[in-house]
Amino acid sequence: DTGVSQDPRHKITKRGQNVTFRCDPISEHNRLYWYRQTLGQGPEFLTYFQNEAQLEKSRLLSDRFSAERPKGSFSTLEIQRTEQGDSAMYLCASSLRQGANNEQFFGPGTRLTVL
C-alpha cells in the first residue's frame, strides 16, 4: 500500500499528558499537511511542510502543538499538556507539488480522545 499512513489510529489519553502522532506520506511527495477534524465538522488546516521546512501554521496551532518533519519524509505532531478540547481526528495529507493540479491525498487519521 503506497498511500498516506498514520499511526496510531486511535489514542486515548488523560488530560495533561503529552501525545505524539506520526504521518508517513506518499514517498515522492514533498508537501505534507496536518488538519484537525472535530465531530460534525469539516477538517481545519493546522500546518504544512515543504520538504523539511514548516512554511505555515494556523492560529489553531497553539503553543502546546509542535510539528516536525526532520528529514523531509515522515512527520510528527506532538500535543503537550492535552486538554479535553483537543479531542478530534487528526488528519495528514501529502501532495506532489503546488498548483492547479495539486491533489492532496489523505491518510486515515488518528482519533484522539482526551479524558
Partner 1 sequence: GNSVTQMEGPVTLSEEAFLTINCTYTATGYPSLFWYVQYPGEGLQLLLKATKADDKGSNKGFEATYRKETTSFHLEKGSVQVSDSAVYFCALSYYSSASKIIFGSGTRLSIRP
Query: Among residues 4, 67, 77, 79, which is the contact residue for partner 1, using CB under 8 A?
Result: 4
Near partner 1 by CB under 8 A, which window of 21-29, 34-42, 65-73, 77-85? 34-42
- In whole angstroms, the minimum distance from the beta carbon of 16 to partner 1 comes to 30
User: Does residue 70 bind partner 1 (CB under 8 A)?
Assistant: no
Largest CA distance in the chain: 42
Write the binding mask 44 to 63 for partner 1: x where contact by CB under 8 A, - elsewhere: xx--x-x----xx-------
**Chain contacts with partner 1 (rule: CB under 8 A):** 3-4, 31, 33, 35, 40-45, 48, 50, 55-56, 91, 93, 95, 98-100, 102-104, 106-109
